[in-house]
Structures are given as structure tokens and as C-alpha cells.
Structure 1
């Protein structure tokens, strides 16, 4: 079977080479382990294009060979061999199967292991697999690259992404993964004043991502690991390397990928003129596309200058980054200036390694008023942008007098953007120093100490002139705001690794301690009711102390056993609930190393994994939810005693028994490789249950100090299957074609929600526009948390919705709240990613598709403005534009809770296409590339974009269709 398969591969690998009859060499190439011939092996004279390949029987002949030549034998899955030719006519070669891919080192938290020895669901994504283009926020590098990882990118410049590993598991607590950068766990709440806290990490400086998915891999991080862990490692210099410098430029041009479909001036004028009770004289004589007026072509540039060098015991790497990126929304601008420094020093015969990482970042933002997005959709298209002589800086506004605007009317979208200035500066530094010491008297034992800090200061200033209709006071609006974030870390651990020959077992033991403290303060002053208001400053502190241990055993290079335990104490809970343990255990069987697999002609890797673990979640909005705290009153909310106004203290709700969520996960996985690892992959299945669910729920009047309380209530259960495949379709000297495909099936269900047993109990969620206090989703036992809660629409024979006609579910001959039903959900049933990478000599091409399937979106842009009354029934003398969907439904009044607006949102998106060419030189290597992002989306969804994480489409900042020119010079 093995010989037959290898023989068939020759059809893919054999290429005619040079056949010039001078001096020639012949021979055969076989496997060293089995002696079987290997067809399709590349044999080339080093430094030339003169080569050949082995035939069906592993034989070859290479012509035009000289005594000084070096012959290079290479084939995927085997270690490359270089043989000096010495004039012999026959040269037979045995090739060893390569273990490089399996022995690739991956981080697992407070240590590392090889890929073949990992027992948890762990995936490493390095530079070769990254998405290309003008990437500002690091997580965009791996979008679509990993099964079980769904990344929904933001749209504003410098904006972050929603990252979900295995879908998240909580309701009110944070569902984002813990992110660890060079050993420093970042604050999961983010950093004040930055659009994405990951923007502090220059994507150009990232070496790789390691994603820990299941509890067996994540429980070493205990109370913060229930939503997975992402370990980011940045680049460092190499010992003994020559001085090298690179300059990299990414210049981009982007436009909105789509706009909300609204009525043009003629269509709107026709509706107003034909609606009883309207006054067409209120309409203007213009034809204004307000969305065109607020959006722009966004240009940007990312500059990176990097220098690095390695000496015998010391290396350095310095990177200077400057990023400028406009948003497609006018006045929106992001700027980053960053200095990244990495130093490594080896001492004491290389027993001590000291590593310093420091990232200094200066973030500048000009925030556009995103309220202009909704205003542009709703503003009367018959009106002009400008009105000469207008009190409102020459902008047209609906008004009751020359200096007084209509209070409830939509504001001029262009004025919202141009009359507001909101600039902020954030200074941030992320630094850590790591000492890694190997004891000279016991080289199997290492001690690692890591001390780090993530420190940020924010200063911002916002103004609107008195002539702005959005100001609504007699003085200029001014807001000065300040913030400070400080995250400090000190951890250490001992690691002992030894191959115990007496029991044929490799032992890996780790034990350590960690302490981390988070501190946030914020302050501001602003004008309100013509007065300057100075609110009380806010200070917030919490800390986490942890003890952890892990033991791993590799028995006979076949059987793997690993167990870990973390004991966490959090200041967010009272002393009775403060400490908790998080255990895990996992096993692995390296089937490929069994004797019965020695002569397998198909498998080149086969490993079975299984694991169980417990993790936690403590990321809630308040650090003091278990304490009775008091909030001081603001100016204007004081109590008057005579002529004196006395401030008050307001008690806040609390739950003294509050504790963290606990999540139990079961995971089973299979890693495999076929045909000398030409096709590799993994399959994982998981089941996880979240208990003591943290959720903000209604409580009975008088039961607490508020009608809403964050407490432990309920459970969720999630299940999933993940498949990841990597295939080397073609592997030649000059041409390579690799394919990566991943698909994830997932399901999340609330299995308990209330403290009682009412089967009909639910909590409304998902606020929508078009009314006050309306919610379109619900949390309810037996349903996904993103499930919609709607009436079932009735349609006529032509398939058109009948206004106000809904299914009488309970048969009481009237439509009431009791007729609403849980219907569809906002999260996908499954999602996938497909990446192709091709290289021909110095030319490279890659493209990535992503897709979500089985998800629905509530189209609030249609339901909120898609009926005649939305624009024509107003308490004042003005009209608002309508969604073009009104032409299809002819709805006169809102039908907010109709399932007509819950629309299927499957999509396939061409996420990234990049083509590049390298021109090597004696002193300078030059590479040029052209990248397109978000080029097209295939979907039946009627709205702006089907990929909306909340499941509710309303005032969505449109995604950008981007083209990027890249120039790279390596000196």
C-alpha cells in the first residue's frame, strides 16, 4: 500500500529537469526506517536550477554534475540531506522521516512542550499563516485561521475585534479570552481611552500566537481561563546573527463596503405628499445622499523600521512603528507611535538567560461622532447640508426659531461630525523582565522569574460650540477627561525535566506562584446646564494571588499523562468565597509510535487525546459587588436644607455571597498525519458546563437596593466539534501550494436561569431602536442566549407581510405578549475558514475565505425606519427619511416585534487576498505586495452587513473594503 501510494505521487511531483550528457550520477533514494523507495524526491545542485526527481521506484539520474557540487535531496516529511559529490557514478541515499513539525515547541502557560507531546487542544499560528495587509490590531492576523476561534473585526480605525473561543460561556460576565503577551496577562476589561488594548502590540513584531482552547490546556490560568487563552510571543534577535535592518511600508486606501438602503429625495417626497395629514411644504428642494456626505475614502500608512543583531551572548531588536489610519467616517482618525525593544543576555555559561521586553506606545485618536451614522440614515433627503446665514455655523437644522433647534428632530449628520472635536492621547508602556536560570549542579532544574507592568495614562478633550444643535446649552460644551490604568505582575516557577531511563519515562514538573494587581482611576469635568461639573473621581482596584503546579509524563514515547492545579484568590469576592481550586487532567496516546504502526504506508502521525478540567470567570463590571458601597450624588442632585445644598450618598446593590463562575470542560481530540505529513490535521469534540453563572437579573422590589443585581444564578451548556486540516497539495523546489481549512460546529444553551422553578421565566435582552425600553432577544432555559423573541408574521397569498397580522399562538383570539415566541438566534451553527498559499520561485499568492452559517440578524435599520409613520408622524414640524424596505411592505406603523425582520445572515466573505514578489539583491532584498481585504461578501441578508456579533443590525459602522500596497526593504 505504501509503495503504491508513493508511486502515485510521482504524477504530482515529477518534473523534467536538465538532461545534458556530461558527467552524471545515478542512484536510488529510500526510507532509512523501512528501506522502501521514495518517489518524487527533489534532487538539485545547490545554488543552481539543475535538478531532477526520483521515479516510481525511487531511482534518479542527474546530469551535468561537477566534483565541486553539493547535491540537495529534499522531500516533504523527511529531513533534507546535502551530499558533496566526489565523482562517483552511483550515489544511493537513505532519508530519515522528519520530526521537526511534531517536535515544534509550543507554549502552554508557564512552560512549553512539543507539539507531539501536547495533550490539550492547543494550536500554534506563526508568521507564515498570518493574514496580510494593513493590519493594525494583532488579532486580525489570525482571523479565519483556527477552528473554534471566531474573530469579528471592528470597523473604526484602530478598532478591536470581538474574539470568541468556542463561543463564550457566560451571560453578563466577560466572554473574551485571556490574552498573555510575553508572559504578562492583560486586563480583560481593556484600557481606558484606546480603541483596542491589543493595539499596543505592533502586529509586525509578533512571532506567533498559541491558542489554548480546552480546560486541560487553560486551567493553569485558573479563574480567568473559562473563555480560552491566547499567548502572544513577540520577535527577538538571534544569537550570532549579523546586523540587519528592514523598512516596511503598508499604504492603504479604503471605502465603505456598503450603505443602508434608504429612500432618495423623489421617493421620500412621493410618500410625504401621498400621506394624509402631512405638510409637503416642510420639504426642501434638494436631493441629498446623507450617507455620501458623512463617508470618505480612508487612506492610511503603516511604517516599520527594525534593527537587530546577535552576538555570542547578547542580542537586541529595536522596532519603530508609526501608523496613521483614517476612518471611512469623516473626522475619524487613529495614530500610533510605538517603540519596541527586546534585549537578551546569556550569562554563566548560558545557564542564565535574561530577557527584557519593552513596548512604549503613544496613541492619538480623533473620535468621530458615530451618532452621525444613524442621523444620515434618518435625515430628510430633500434638505441641503448647508443653509447660508444659519446660526448653526451655516448648517441646516430643523428649528423653532433662528437660534433654537427642534428638540426631538434628527441633527444634521455633517454638523455632528464637523462641529465636534474629541481628541485623546494615551501613553502606555508594557514591559517585563524575565530571568530563566538553569542550576549548574542540577541541569534538569530551572527557575523562572517574570516581573512586568502594563501602565497607561489617558488625557482627552472634547468640545462643541454653542452654535452646535447637538450642544443644547448657552455656552460651549467642554469635557476634559483623564484616566490611569496600572497592571503589575510578579510570578515565578520551578521546572524540572528529566528522562528517567529506569522507567523509560520523561518527567516534566512545574510549580510556582503568581501575584497580579489591577488599578484604574478616572476623572473628568464637563459643562452641564451652563455650569462646569466636577464629578467625584473613580478609583478601582483588584488583585489576584495564585499558586499553580503541573506534572507531565511521557511513558515510552507512547503514553502521555498530564495534570495541573491552580489555587486562586481574588479580591472581588468575600473571604468565604475568595479562594478556589482549578484542576485538570489529560492523557494522550501516540499511536504512531506503536510497533503495529511501523510499516504503515498511510499514516505518518496519529495521536489520541482526552482531557477534563475546571476553569473560572471573575470578569464582572464591579470589583466590589459583594460589598455595600455608596455612590456620592452629582451636582444638581443634592438635597436642599434652607439655603444649603447637601450632597448625598446612595447605597448600591450588592450580593455578599457573590463568587466566580465555574466551568467544567470535557475534551477529546485526534491528531493525524497522512502520506509523510502531506495532509495533517486534528479533530476535537468538547462538552462544557458553566455553573454559578454570573448574570445581571431582575430582583423583586425591596429585595435589594436596585431592581437589577449581578449574582450567581443559572447554568449554561455548550458543545462543539472542531476540525482543522493542512494539506501540502504541491511541494516542489520552485512551486508550493498549501491549503488550510477549518470548520467549527457549536451549540450553546441556557439550562438554568432563575433561583426558582418557573419554566416560563425569561429575562429580556437586546435593546433596539424604534421605541423606549424595547428588547428583541431573551435569556430563557433551553435556548441560546442570542435567541430572538418575536411574533410570528402572517403573509398574504403573494408572500407579502400583512401589517399587524400575527399568529395567535395560544388561541385566545387576541394578540398579546403571550403570543411571542423564541425564534432563531444570532450566533452561527457553524463557521469555517479556508486559506490557500501558493509560491512560485519568488512570487507568492495567498487568499482567505471565511463564512458563518445558520445565524440570523434582526434588521433594526428596517424595523426602526421601515414604516411610513417613522418619518411622517412627528410632534414637531419636520420629517425623517425611511428605510427603502417600506416600499416592499407599505407598513404604516411599526411592527418592531415581527419575525419578518429576523433575517437569515449566512455569508461567505473573501477576507484577504495578497500577492507579492521578492527581488533578492547582494545588499538589499526588496519585496513588493498588493493586498485586498473584505473584497466581497456572498449573502442573502438585506442589511448592511451579515456579520454582526450582537445579532442586531442598527447604526452599524460599515466595514471597509481595503487595498494595500506593501514595500519591504531588507538591508
Structure 2
């Protein structure tokens, strides 16, 4: 709270008292081709949001300070920069050019332009990011790119988010994309033990842009880790010849949950006393909303201090970042980090050295999220404290009863400290003896150490219960070295530009973890895992007559996760492009850009967990957890010998392999004021890595990770960008993207049995129950339920289900695959508006065709949830008032509810105040402002489609101040 108040105080007192003098410069902007004035040209002071636009006659007027750089830019024209040195008038001529099409985008081990890109590639830059006090970097691009779906894990402090590109291509292996930060691929399994997000160590304010590689022709050069797409993150590095600049920003935040689980109120609970099974003697005299008691208003603050300077041959940028974010359960996340970058150019700019280093300390103070379930089920007529001032508990006669939710929060301490260094050194050298030949070397290190402890008090209702003490620590080390040669040349005789790249990469991951738990039974163990990946890669690109594009890539990966027999994988990719706009028959077309693309490629998946699934491994027993008696000691005590237990393995384990086809169209109208892309894809994954049951005696385990099955997915992605208004005092641009997708398991076992399925999707309400299934012909998130029968009034009849097979009895054979959690379509809609110095931007996200299983209602929406408990009475879900169910109906499709939604995800209002030497910007931002949905549960956006004890999302209100000078 103190951090929040300090940040808020800074926000309120940082506005300078007086404006300092500025000089007004006027000018005219014309078209170089015909000398006609250009209306709506942006005239901006570089590095600020101060600016204007030309009027109908191409004229502008702008207040400017000595030494500032004026940037004149217009869609379809080459931008110009002019340093102000006292001129009273500045007249500018702009030359027409496909400026936007020539924007540089990374493509993995190199770059290209938008005009020449042949794969499905999206770039989201700093100016497009979501605003506000964003802690997890992935939230910057939520709703910004077609085919990319970001789902927050909930409202916990420091919570990250699930990233899915084209829905994911796997079942049991990871569906997370490969993330590459400044050339360093990070560990797909999390990057650091104990962290809520692999990207938490990255300061969102330090990110320049995201480039999303979606189709296999673009990702194949990353081979064995690219089946789920690739995200390339570039951090800010400053620029050459830049004046010394200091920037400071502070954002003060309040966070509050927007919804809670609907349970019986105290009065509704007391009304159950008429039931003969209800024990009225247990009723208390209070009316306690336990969810209101456990959730508080969280506060937080983000500070960013940045200094940068650019010389002719050297530039640097140093950022200090501190984050403090509270969760509604009084959990806390703090990040303190230094982000540095240094760029040195030597040998007449032929040699460029870039060093990027991030030193970060993350500190998590976790809350006991078991308090969420306890607050849902605890008797609402009981007070928080008893007459002695202690937490009210059910008592020792109910040792399976939930503890007082506030006791669970109070008697719990779990902390994790993570110290992490992410560093990358890049050498880029233009070799002098052959024009167009470059050598590029990239050496990276991601090193993290974690240290944590946990204390959890004993169950107060069980006198035999023990407190839990845990100590954990570990180390993650990711080292990477890659280098490549790149050669570009123009072959004039055939009017062709050639770009060839070939290189080698090696990456090693080392993980050590230690865990010690002290309860009634002590457990202590140390685990070490190490694996490596060695690769060779090449790519050739040809631009023929500035019309026809050909790109081909190839990667050879060798992974230590697989046996020598299956260790090597080969991953090719090919794509074609046709710049229709450059054809003579398009000269008088109403298009300002038109390009057709097509691609094919093969990618892999090797994230099968921490162990080597092809090796026979023996697990030692520790602390007498599993031992055999061999004889007795002289005093008669037994002698126990600890065991070595063999684990299951599959010698034939190999890569998952995904083949993907993509067809795309890029287009532009009205001098590219309206641009867009359309992509259609088909993806087939075979040799799916999955953990499946095996027959008794067939292996050393009942569940084995092996290659089994195939899955296909297909989709259509549409992205539109429009500059609606571009005037002197008012700008309005917009982005809309929509994605349609389907996924289907086509094979799941080696015998091609179409009726075979694997239960999945564990739920609350009994032991080992599941509500989803993997089965050929269905989406992997499909639910598996009985079809509910209703009476003439439309009310569900308890225990009555459709007899699907007509055998006059309801058995497991009558459960059916029904609906799915994966949406049929999702959208993002962003608008950016500016009126003079006032700006407004907002982003909507939506999802359609997805369903959620309301496990909170199915588990507790019945009378037995109250009265049929061992020695106590609990609360029920409010759905009981509608159904009147006595028993749990866990597998009824009644609880599969449509979860379409449209969410106002982010809205920000800002105002820029220009001073002579200082630019000040104030902003007010709200996130998760409202959700439009028919779903009556806690939240329609649940990544796995099962709502149960979900940490509610918060609505964040952010006041921000940014100053630069």
C-alpha cells in the first residue's frame, strides 16, 4: 500500500507549474511528383507525442524547441526528419514510396520487408500495444493479431497468460509457441522454476515489438520447436545520433475482482431448515459473505526510469524497472530489474556489436488459493470469529470439513525469490572481400536461481493434522550459440535478387531442483535434468523482377531427448509470393497493394517433459518411502532396504511432426489507408506425443508417454487496418482481426480403433472423475456427458438422461461427446483516436462458439453438498434453487454452458502537455472494464473450459504519468 501511495503522490505532483517558451514554426508539405499539397500529413516531434497534421492546403503550424527533430510522415510516402535550428518556415516535399510495405520484419536468423515476406507473419509494435500497468508481456498483444489468442490465467499477482497460435498442434506435449528474445530461444517449459510466467522477467516497457511467425514456411527454420508457432521479441536499444534522453514513468494501480461464484446467501441457507435432513442446530447468527471477506482491493505501482544516448558509432539504453502488484487474495508480486543495451559500430559500420543484458529479481508471495474453494463452501451463517476472538471452525468432529477461509490465508506463507540474467551478445560483420556477404554470431545466456519456502498451518478441524514446511531451490541454465553466413546480391542478367543464409546452432538446457517437505512424513529429493539441441539450417530467397518471390528453408535438428535411432529430424519449408501490384496489368488498378502468398512446411515438437522418455530409468526410494524388509536387528527391530524402482519407457519415442499448408493474400486500398491480410491454413500433426494407458504387463507402468495418433486443424484469419481520419487536429485509425478455427483428432491409437478414447479434464466432486475426452473425430477439448432430460416446463429432471443406445438403462455407454471449450471464432478490435493533445485507444476481444463446464455448480448445486457431509454442513451453489437437485449430477450436459463473450479488454485516455524541454503525458487506463456474455458462471474465458476454484480476474484502474526530457 505504501508503494501505491508513493506512486500516486508522484502522479499528482509531477505536473510543472508553468509553461516555458516555445517557438512556432510553419510550413507546407507537397507531393514531389506534381507539387500538389498533401493534406493529413503527420508532423511530429521525434520521441514525443507532440505534433499536428497538415490542413487541406498542406500547411501546418507547430511549437518546437531548439535542437528537436521534426518527423514528417504520410502513408505511401518516404518519411523525412529535419532538425530544428531556428528556422521560421520549413517546406517539405515527400516522394511517393511503398513505405509501409518496406517495413522491416524479423523472420528468424535474418529479416525481410513486409513487401517481400512470403510466410504468414504479423508484427505488433510499441505503438499498437495495449496500455496500462501491464506486468506480463503477452498481455501487450492480446487481441492484436489474427490467429493469436492470449488467455489470462486469472487475477493473481504476477499472473501470466496462455499463448496459443492457431490453436496449438499437440495433446500431451506443450502447445506454447517458441519464444525468442533478441535472438535467444528461451526454455519452453517456463524459463525459471517458481515463476508464474516464462516472460515475467521481461519488462513490457522495454519491448520494441513482437513478430509472430504463424505458418510452417515461416517457422520451419526453427525446426523441432516450431509446431506451435514462434514469437520473436525485440527489446528497445536506442538509436544512433540521438540526444541524451531521460524518461520516467510511474503507474499507480488499483485491482478488484469483477465477479464471484454464486452461492446461497445466509437467508437462502437458513431457508433449507425446512428440509428434514438439515440440522438447524448448526446455524449461526451471522450473515457472512465469505468471498467478500477473502477478496480485497489490491494496489500496485510500476516505475520505469530510462536513460539513452546515441553517438555516430555508439548508442546505449539503460532502463531501471520496479513493479509491485497485489492480488485480491493479498498475494504479492515484485520485480526489480535493470535492462541494458549497448551497440558499437566499427570499421566504417561494417562491424556491429550488440550487447543486451537483463538482470532481474522476481519475488512472489503466494496466497493459499484453497481459500477460494473454502469460501464457496463455508457456512454463511457463521461469523468470521468466535466469541473468543479465534477464527470460527467446524470443530474436531468434522476433520474433513473446510477450514475457515481467512484462517487458510492467515496461516499460510509461501515465498519464492528468483534471480535471473538474460543476456545476448551479437556480432554482425560485413565481410570486406565479397560485397553482400555477412557473418552473424549470436551468443546467449538465460540463467536463473530460485529459492523458496512454504508454511501451511494444520487443518484446525483435525487434531491429528500436521503443519507443512517446505523448502525448495533450484537453478535453470540455458546457453545458446548460433552463427550464420548471409549473402545477398542482385543478378542483373536475370533481374533477380538473391538472399542466401546458412548456419549452425547449439543450445543446452540444465535444470537442478531441490525439494524438502516436513509434515508427518518427510520427503526430500534432488532432481537434475540436462538436454541439448544441435542444429544446422539454411534458407534461400529469390526476388525475380520485383514480382515473383521464392523462399526455401531447411533445418536439421538433433535432440538428446531421443535415442540415436530417432535423434535427428529434418524440417523443410517452401513458400512463394506474387507481387501482383507490380504487374503491368495492375497499373491503373484501384489496389495500392496486392500480393498472393502460398507456403508449405514441416515442423516438430520435442517437449515431452523433464525426463528422457526413451531411457530405462530407475527411481531410488528416499526416506523409507518405498522399502522392503530384510531381516531384523538384534533387538528385533525390522531392517528395511530402500528400493530402486524401474520407470516405464519407450525405446521408439520420436518427434511429433506437423505439416502445414498456408495460402495468403495481402492487399491495400486508397494509397494503403486500408490494408489487410487473409490467410487460410491446414495443419496435420502425426506421431502425437501423448501419455496413454497401456495393457497390464506391456510395460513398467500403466501410463506411458509415446507416439500415438494424429490431429488436424484448419483455419481462416482476416486482419484489417484502416486510417479512417487523418486531419490536422484529429486522427483515427483502427484494427480488426477475426480468426475461424477447427481442430480434430483423427487417430489416437496404433490399432486405428475409431471407438477408442482417453478420458481427460479432471473435475471436482469425487476421485478420478473427468468431463472431457480425446477421441478420433472430435476436438481435443470436447466434453463427455449424459444428455439431460427435461419436464414439460423445461426444468431438468434429476437423474434422468437420454438412453442413447436404447438398452433401457443408463450406463457409461450413454455418455456422449458434446460441445467443446475451443472457440469456433475469436476477434480483436482496436481503435486509436487523437484530438490535438488528447488521445484515446481501446481494445475489444471476443470469442464465439466456445463452451464452459460449470464445475462449481455441478459439484455444489445440490442439497447433499450441504447435508451429506461427514460431521458438518456446508454451503451450496445457488443453482440448487433452480434445479432442486438432491444429488450431484456431475456428468449432466446441463452444466455445459455456452460461453460466447465480448470483453472491453483495455481502454486508455491520455493527454500530452508539451513544455520547452520536457514532454509530460498523463493517462487513465482501465482493463477488463466489462464482459457481455450469457454464461452465468464466474467467467466465460477459461483456457481449459472447466470452471472450478478459478482465481477471478480483476478490473484494474491505472493512473499514469510519463515525463521525458
TM over 0.5: yes
Tell me the alpha carbon deviations over residues 546-587 of structure 1, each in whole angstroms, 9 at most, x when there is no partner: 000000000111100000000000000000000010000000
Report the equivalent of 2:317: 317
Distance in 2 between the 1:546 and 1:646 partners? 45
Q: Distance in 2 between matches of 1:346 and 1:558?
A: 34
How far residue 51 of structure 1 moved from its aligned partner, in angstroms, is 6.2
Tell me if the contact between 1:78 and 1:98 (Cα under 8 Å) persists in the aligned partners: yes
Shift of 1:969: 1.0
Single out whichever of 732-741 and 909-918 deviates more from structure 2: 732-741
Identify the residue that residue 497 of structure 2 maps to in structure 1: 506
Q: For the residues of structure 2 that align with 1:453 and 1:575, how far apart are their CA atoms?
A: 27
Aligned to 2:834: 839
Aligned residues: 915
3-state secondary structure, aligned to 1:301: strand
Note the C-alpha offset of 1:483: 1.1
Is 1:784 aligned with 2:779? yes
Q: 1:440 to 1:965 in 2, by over 3 A?
A: same
Q: 1:83 to 1:578 in 2, by over 3 A?
A: closer
| 8 Å contact kept, 2:762–2:769 | yes
Separation in 2, partners of 1:563, 1:45: 41
CA distance in 1, matches of 2:228, 2:407: 42
**Structure 1, gaps ≥5 residues long:** 1-23, 55-59, 64-69, 85-90
Looking at structure 2, the residues matched to 567 and 366 of structure 1 have their Cα atoms a distance apart, in angstroms, of: 43
Distance 1:307 1:94, change over 3 A: closer
Greater Cα shift, 568-577 or 697-706: 697-706
How far residue 78 of structure 1 moved from its aligned partner, in angstroms, is: 2.9
Alignment correspondent of 1:488: 479
Distance apart, 1:528 and its partner CA:
2.3
Please give the alpha-carbon distance, in whole angstroms, between the structure 1 residues aligned to 2:720 and 2:431: 41
| Distance of 1:648 and 1:388 partners within structure 2 | 52
Deviation at 1:647, TM superposition (A): 0.9
2:101 match:
102
Are the equivalent residues in 2 in contact too, given 1:788–1:822 (CA < 8 A)?
Answer: yes
1:912 — aligned with what?
906
TM-score by length of 2: 0.92
For residue 477 of structure 1, report the CA deviation from its aligned partner. 2.8
**Alpha-carbon displacement from aligned partner over 1:373-398 (angstroms, at most 9, x marks no partner):** 111111111112222448xxx22222
CA contact (8 A) 2:784 2:815 kept: yes
Q: Please give the secondary structure, in 2, of the residue aligned with 1:399.
A: coil
Q: 1:153 to 1:82 in 2, by over 3 A?
A: closer
Identify which range, 591-600 or 778-787, moves more after superposition.
591-600
Q: Deviations over 1:136-178 (max 9, x none)?
A: 0101000000000000012211111000000001100000000
TM-superposed deviation, 1:461: 1.2
What is the match of residue 223 of structure 1? 224
Corresponding residue to 1:53 among 47, 53, 56: 56
Query: What residue is the counterpart of 2:64 in the other structure?
Result: none
Shift of the 290–253 alpha-carbon distance from structure 1 to 2, 3 Å rule, reads same
- Preserved contact between residue 866 and residue 886 of structure 1 (Cα < 8 Å): yes
Q: Are positions 1:903 and 2:906 aligned together? A: no
- Alignment check: 8 A CA contact 1:458 1:482 kept: yes
Structure 2 counterpart SS, 1:496:
strand
Asked if the contact 2:400–2:462 (Cα under 8 Å) also holds between the matched residues in 1, the reply is no
CA distance in 1, matches of 2:723, 2:689: 45
Contact 1:471 1:477 in 2 (8 A): no
Question: In 2 relative to 1, CA 97–50 (structure 1 residues): closer, same or farther, beyond 3 Å?
Answer: closer
Cα distance, 1:94 vs structure 2: 7.9
For 1:890, which of 880, 884, 892 is the aligned residue?
884
Gap runs ≥5 in structure 2: 1-25, 62-68, 84-89, 633-637
Identify the residue that residue 233 of structure 1 maps to in structure 2: 234
Q: Secondary structure at the match of 1:502?
A: helix
1:548 aligns with 2:537: yes
Q: C-alpha distance in 1, partners of 2:160/2:80?
A: 45
Q: Secondary structure in 1 aligned to 2:940?
A: coil
SS of aligned partner of 1:77: coil
Deviation string, structure 1 residues 248-305 (Cα, Å, up to 9, x no partner): 001100110100000011111211x122233211222211111011100010000001
Match in the other structure for 1:624: 612
Shift of 1:93: 9.9
Measured in 1, the distance between the counterparts of 2:73 and 2:914 equals 23
Could you say what secondary structure the match of 1:537 adopts? strand
Say if 1:105 and 1:295 are closer, same or farther in 2 by CA, change over 3 A: same
Q: Establish whether residue 675 from structure 1 lines up as the match of residue 649 from structure 2.
A: no
> What secondary structure is seen at the aligned counterpart in 2 of 1:937?
strand
Aligned to 2:395: 399
C-alpha displacement at 1:230, in angstroms? Answer: 0.2
1:855 to 817, 839, 850: 850
Tell me the CA shift for residue 811 of structure 1: 1.1
Give the aligned partner of residue 869 of structure 1: 864
Which residue number in structure 1 is paired with residue 291 of structure 2?
Answer: 291
The answer to whether residue 136 in structure 2 is matched with residue 137 in structure 1 is yes
Separation of aligned partners in 2, 1:177 and 1:411: 40
Q: Give the Cα–Cα distance (whole angstroms) in 1 for the partners of residues 435 and 44 of structure 2.
A: 42
Look up the match of 1:305. 305
- d(CA) in 1 for partners of 2:890, 2:234: 48
Q: Which residue of structure 1 aligns with residue 940 of structure 2?
A: 946
Distance change in 2, residues 1:578/1:231 (3 Å): same
Contact 2:426–2:440 (Cα < 8 Å) also in 1: yes
Q: Which deviates further from its counterpart, 248-257 or 628-637?
A: 628-637
Distance 1:71 1:134, change over 3 A: closer
The residue number in structure 1 matching 2:347 is: 348
Spell out the pairing of 1:571-590 with structure 2 (5 A cutoff): 571-590=560-579
What residue number does 2:680 align with?
Answer: 685
SS in 1 for 2:199: helix
Alpha-carbon separation, structure 2, partners of 1:25 and 1:107: 36
Q: CA RMSD in A?
A: 2.5
Post-superposition offset of 1:744 = 0.1
When residues 50 and 276 of structure 1 are mapped into structure 2, their CA distance, relative to the original with a 3 A threshold, is closer
User: Which of 911, 922, 928 is the aligned partner of 2:916?
Assistant: 922
In the TM superposition, residue 756 of structure 1 has moved relative to its aligned partner by: 1.2
- Of 507, 514, 517, which residue of structure 1 is paired with 2:508? 517
- The 1:82–1:716 alpha-carbon spacing in structure 2 relative to 1, beyond 3 Å, is closer
Distance 1:38 1:594, change over 3 A: farther
